[in-house]
Structure 1
Amino acid sequence: MFKFTPASLITIAILGFSQLAFIPATLAKENLSQQTSTIQITRYQNDADLIKHTFESQLYTLNANTAGHYGLRMFRQTLDPKYSAAVWSDMARVASTLNEIATEIKTPKQAKAYGEKKLQYYKTKGTTRTQMRYEVTKDKPEYLFLGIDLLGAMARADEYGLKHKYDKHLHNLIRQFDFKPYATNPEMIKAWAAQLANQVYWLRQLDEQDVVDDFINAFQKTYPDNQDKQLSDQQYTNKIYGLTHIIFAASEYYQYPIDSKEFAWIYDYFDKNIEQILTRTKEDVVAEVGISYLLAEKLDSPTLADTQATIAHAIDMKQGMIPSTDGDFELSKGEHRNVLAIMLLSWQGTNAAPTISEQPAIFSDLPYGLVKK
């Protein structure tokens, strides 16, 4: 009886079951031919182009935040100036956030009140994840001010080679809080793993408190690998998101390559548990796992191949995108998973861009409040 190998299954996923009869017998072996590699690359590029067409033909019908999220990632992949307007939208978002904070927040008490307003969003939503976030954050609402808004906006400005004109005041606000209790609290990690990974790296990037190692140690204790089977799918997904975001944040979001040796414990885990990851998590998580390998230039990894084949298979060819798990094709809700799919299927390397020094045209008209560093 013929037995499909992992390599042959990947080939089938790429070519489609309708073409199975035409696959040479050698392609069912572990060592795929160069012809198969070429077919894989071509097919994946076509898939990525299909999703790109879907989103870019309607990009500016999306809100500024969503368009900015997409445009920045595509600029960092391609350095194509056609994404400049979307990058400017992201820059305007950053400026708006920092302008509001610089104007209205002077004290820890005001920071807490700011967070309490944001907390109302989480109180009214009914998902398991959102309710977890509400419960763990309701007695520390300043986290929503500090972690979600202030650090993210300041770090993005810094990546652009910019700062806010009241940068000194904003740094002083950061120093009003000790971030370590947030980053090492197991219940916070269970609710905010990916966000905390981002935030501890942003703090380091901004030359503020360095709690990266503290967070990673606490994360490993919160999610020991031998307890995976005891986790709900929601908590397992949170764990994998946390792992991918440690790598993403270390790369400053696709700007710098990753030394795989530094994060060998993460890659070893992915390699050993890829079947569980594919089974228990959603497409955006799967794509993030694959991109983690691309950032480390682990291009021959079977784990990377598994994620690419899975994501390519998830695309609805008629709609030109990957739908949500409940079959929704709304662009604004699907942008995150689909831009990740584009990156996974047509990776073009890391670029520390855009910056005001290297791409000055994008920054010729800075939003109010932002200045060159």
Structure 2
Amino acid sequence: MAEHGATVRADGSNAVSNDGQVSYQQDAERIRQTYESQLFTLPAFKMGHYGLRMYRQTQDPKYQAAIWSDMARVASRLNYFATEVHTPKQIAAYSAKRLARYDHKQDVRSDLRYEATKDKPEYFYLGVDLLGSMARANEYGLKHREDAKLRAVIRRYDFKQYATDPEMIRAWAAQLANQVYWLRQLGEQDVVDDFIAAFKATYPDSQDAKLSDQQFMNKVYGLTHIVFAATEYYQHPVKESDYQWIYDYYRANIDTIVERSKEDVIAEIGINFLLAGLEDDPVVEKTRRTIQRAINRQAGLVPAVNGSTDLLDGEHRNVLAIMLLDWQGAHAAPTIQKQPEMFSGKPYGLITK
């Protein structure tokens, strides 16, 4: 049944906008309830992804277990790498297995990733797996007990070769944005400016109309993740002027983006504006209305493009929807220095940095 006068289609989504009768905050709460009633049924990665973002928004200690689960996942991966996957031979074997997974997938994005990465499979180990875990530990105010060994591994590679390769950017734009900022965050090689220059050259705005929907979304995902990564994921605000080219692009193209993109991307754009303190910008309202209209009210979440209401597959999309609809600011948390109560009993392998 529709709530507060909203009309609902047979599939549960809104048939018309709510004319303000259901507030954005109410809809955020509806999605929160859907996820938090079943949060601990999700795998550690998804539970941690959700819990960390919600804690950064709310500082509510109820997310402590989800964050501990995320720390345990990070510790486990870094323990494994420090002991089992750190020599060139070990990295080659590990990366070959990771690459093989993509060869068996049957979608455009996976094909692009396989083709772009098959001659540099170590990228799966270095960029996709190692850097993300080290950066997450760093955000918590922690590091691995064998941090020096892992940093020595990073220094064997020139990340510029991945970050400036147009084929890699077409396959991994958002991931590369994360990774170049993680390297900077860790005080290692700084190729942020090189990546941004290569990204602009790979995706000139004048060529948007020639891009497939998949490539258009890859471009916009890349843009949103440049801003997200610069904020260390919702921890620090950004100045619009530092990323003027991105915000100008959003404003000029928001209608096309809404038409050609999934809800994840649309929500991310709205959050990019919120991170810059631009809540009153018309783009934010447009993204919020789009996400609100997409909610399946019977399922209590934003479904996939194909209508699926699977909680696991929808976690990324729906945590973004919550943040967009009920934004509570950027907060540098949790860290062991400022919120020690969140870190009672660190998982083995992680130490205070």
Q: TM-score range by the shorter chain?
A: over 0.9
Alignment of 1:35-50 (within 5 A): 39=20, 43-50=23-30
Q: State the distance in 2 between where 1:294 and 1:222 align.
A: 27
Q: State the distance in 2 between where 1:352 and 1:112 align.
A: 36
Q: State the distance in 2 between where 1:119 and 1:365 align.
A: 35
Does residue 279 (structure 1) correspond to residue 259 (structure 2)? The answer is: yes
Q: 2:133 pairs with 150, 153, 165, which one?
A: 153
Alignment of 1:282-361 (within 5 A): 282-361=262-341
Q: Deviations over 1:255-297 (max 9, x none)?
A: 0001110000000000000000000000000000000000000
Q: 1:63 pairs with 15, 18, 43, which one?
A: 43
Contact preservation (8 Å) 2:239, 2:276:
yes
Contact preservation (8 Å) 1:147, 1:199:
yes
Matched-pair identity in %? 61
Contact preservation (8 Å) 2:99, 2:118:
yes
Quote how far apart the aligned CAs of 1:17 are: 7.1
Contact preservation (8 Å) 1:108, 1:176:
no
List alignment gaps of at least 5 residues for structure 1.
1-13, 19-35
Q: How many pairs does the alignment contain?
A: 340
Q: 2:209 pairs with 226, 229, 233, which one?
A: 229
Alignment of 1:9-20 (within 5 A): 16=6
Query: Root-mean-square deviation (CA), in Å?
Result: 1.4
Q: Which residue of 1 aligns with 2:76?
A: 96
Larger radius of gyration: 1
Alignment of 1:207-246 (within 5 A): 207-246=187-226
Q: Deviations over 1:193-247 (max 9, x none)?
A: 0000000000000010000000000000000000000000000000000000000
Q: Deviations over 1:159-195 (max 9, x none)?
A: 0000000000000000000000100000000000000
Q: State the distance in 1 between where 2:242 and 2:92 align.
A: 36
Quote how far apart the aligned CAs of 1:110 are: 2.2
Does residue 113 (structure 1) correspond to residue 113 (structure 2)? The answer is: no
Quote how far apart the aligned CAs of 1:15 are: 7.5
Q: Which residue of 1 aligns with 2:11?
A: none
Quote how far apart the aligned CAs of 1:105 are: 2.4
Q: Which residue of 1 aligns with 2:243?
A: 263
The amino acid that maps onto 2:331 is N
Quote how far apart the aligned CAs of 1:108 are: 2.6
SS at match of 2:242: coil
Q: TM-score, normalised by structure 1?
A: 0.89
The amino acid that maps onto 1:164 is H
SS at match of 1:163: strand
CA gap of 1:180–1:43, structure 2 versus 1, over 3 A, is same
Q: State the distance in 1 between where 2:86 and 2:274 align.
A: 42
Q: TM-score, normalised by structure 2?
A: 0.94
Contact preservation (8 Å) 1:113, 1:142:
no
The amino acid that maps onto 1:325 is V
The amino acid that maps onto 1:138 is K
Does residue 143 (structure 1) correspond to residue 119 (structure 2)? The answer is: no
Quote how far apart the aligned CAs of 1:16 are: 4.9
Q: Which residue of 1 aligns with 2:106?
A: 126
Contact preservation (8 Å) 2:127, 2:179:
yes
CA gap of 1:232–1:319, structure 2 versus 1, over 3 A, is same
Q: Deviations over 1:30-86 (max 9, x none)?
A: xxxxxx9xx58x610000000000000000011111101000000000000000000
Quote how far apart the aligned CAs of 1:357 are: 1.1
Tell me which stretches of 4 or more aligned residues in structure 1 moved more than 6 Å. Answer: none
List alignment gaps of at least 5 residues for structure 2.
9-18
